[in-house]
């Protein structure tokens, strides 16, 4: 494909279309049934309200809207203390916005993006490859299907490992600390990492102080926790616990 025919990159939205059409269809169905059972109008209202909330949240996250998604990624890039030499891994890359931003920022490095690309998301390996070509970094970036719970790489393979809002989604591992440990396993000694996730959900990660202490026992020499949720660019409507209200970042060095 020539450069002129390359499509603009499509990085998708963290509020997938299913979050809108499922409650939307349910709401309309209950509204129809409310002609026969008037009490169902309450359920119809709740589902339609939910669909409306997700439409608004999708707008807030979108690059064409308030670009909260881009700003959350930007915060991760801002806190990264890396010299840009060697091999990097992006775990759960989605449509690869972070992988590609990193590849543009660090022209000496090579990048791998992995994702399971499950059906629930509007993301795919072919979209990642198209985006990398459209952004002119495809020579240094490759993508593979794999799970964050069992990374197909030997211990200490990467100079940099990043992940943005993925660990909490890993369905086959109930204990999200195990997913974090798996990500840290593939960081080289003296390599750096930056992980953003819902680290303030205690049911997943426990107390933050305890998590930081545990990471030190795993051989992590430096680690800092940054509360992304407090960033001024996150609007009140996104501060719900399973949206951006519990997001934080673990940044450090092995």
Binding part of the chain for ligand SAM, among 30-38, 87-95, 200-208, 233-241 by CB under 6 A, reads 87-95
* Interaction pattern, residues 169-208, with ligand SAM; x per rule: CB under 6 A: xx--------------------------------------
**Exactly one of 115, 159, 182, 197 binds ligand SAM (CB under 6 A); which one?**
115
Q: What is the C-alpha to C-alpha distance for residues 83 and 79, in angstroms, rounded to an integer?
A: 13
Q: Is residue 167 involved in binding ligand SAM (CB under 6 A)?
A: no
Q: Which is nearer to ligand SAM, 198 or 211 (CB)?
A: 198
**Least gap, CB of 231 to ligand SAM (angstroms):** 15
128 in contact with ligand SAM (CB under 6 A): no
CB closest to ligand SAM, residue no: 94
| CA–CA dist 36, 44 (Å, integer) | 13
With beta carbons less than 8 A apart as the criterion, state whether 181 and 250 touch.
Answer: no
Least CB distance to ligand SAM at residue 8 (A)? 16
SS3 content of the chain, % helix, strand, coil (to 5): 40, 20, 40
Minimum Å gap between C-beta 244 and ligand SAM is 11
Considering only residues 54 to 73 of the shown chain, the ones binding ligand SAM according to CB under 6 A are 73
Residues touching ligand SAM, count (CB under 6 A):
21
What is the Cα–Cα distance from 9 to 196, expressed in whole angstroms?
A: 23
**CA dist 19 → 36, 43, 53, 58, 92 (Å):** 27, 17, 10, 9, 20
Spatial contact of 10 and 131, defined as CB atoms under 8 Å apart: yes
Which residue is it, tokens 């339609």? 48
Nearest to 243 by CA among 170, 174, 165: 165
Question: Is residue 118 a contact residue for ligand SAM (CB under 6 A)?
Answer: yes
Q: CA-CA distance, 20 to 233, in Å (whole number)? A: 24
Q: Binding residues for ligand SAM, per CB under 6 A?
A: 14, 73, 92-94, 97-98, 115-118, 121, 123, 147-149, 164-166, 169-170
């Amino acid at each position: 494909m020539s450069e002129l025919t390359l499509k603009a990159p499509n990085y998708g939205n963290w509020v997938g279309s299913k979050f809108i059409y499922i409650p939307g269809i349910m709401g309309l169905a209950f509204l129809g049934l409310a002609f026969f059972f008037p009490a169902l109008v309450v359920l119809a209202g709740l589902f339609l309200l939910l669909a409306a909330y997700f439409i608004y949240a999708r707008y807030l996250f979108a690059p064409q809207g308030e670009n909260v998604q881009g700003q959350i990624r930007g915060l991760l890039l801002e806190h990264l203390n890396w010299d840009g030499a060697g091999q990097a891994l992006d775990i759960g890359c989605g449509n690869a916005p972070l992988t590609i931003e990193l590849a543009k920022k660090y022209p000496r490095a090579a990048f791998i993006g992995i994702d399971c690309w499950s059906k629930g998301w509007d993301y795919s390996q072919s979209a990642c490859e198209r985006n990398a070509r459209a952004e002119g970094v495809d020579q240094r970036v490759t993508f593979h299907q794999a799970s964050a719970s069992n990374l197909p790489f030997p211990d200490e393979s990467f100079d940099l490992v990043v992940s943005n809002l993925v660990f909490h989604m890993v369905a086959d591992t109930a204990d999200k600390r195990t997913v974090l440990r798996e990500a840290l396993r593939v960081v080289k000694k003296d390599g750096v990492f930056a992980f953003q996730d819902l680290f303030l959900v205690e049911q997943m990660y426990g107390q933050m102080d305890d998590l930081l202490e545990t990471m030190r026992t795993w051989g992590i020499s430096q680690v800092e926790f940054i509360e992304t949720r407090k960033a001024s660019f996150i609007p009140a409507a996104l501060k719900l616990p399973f949206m951006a209200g519990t997001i934080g970042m673990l940044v450090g060095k092995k």
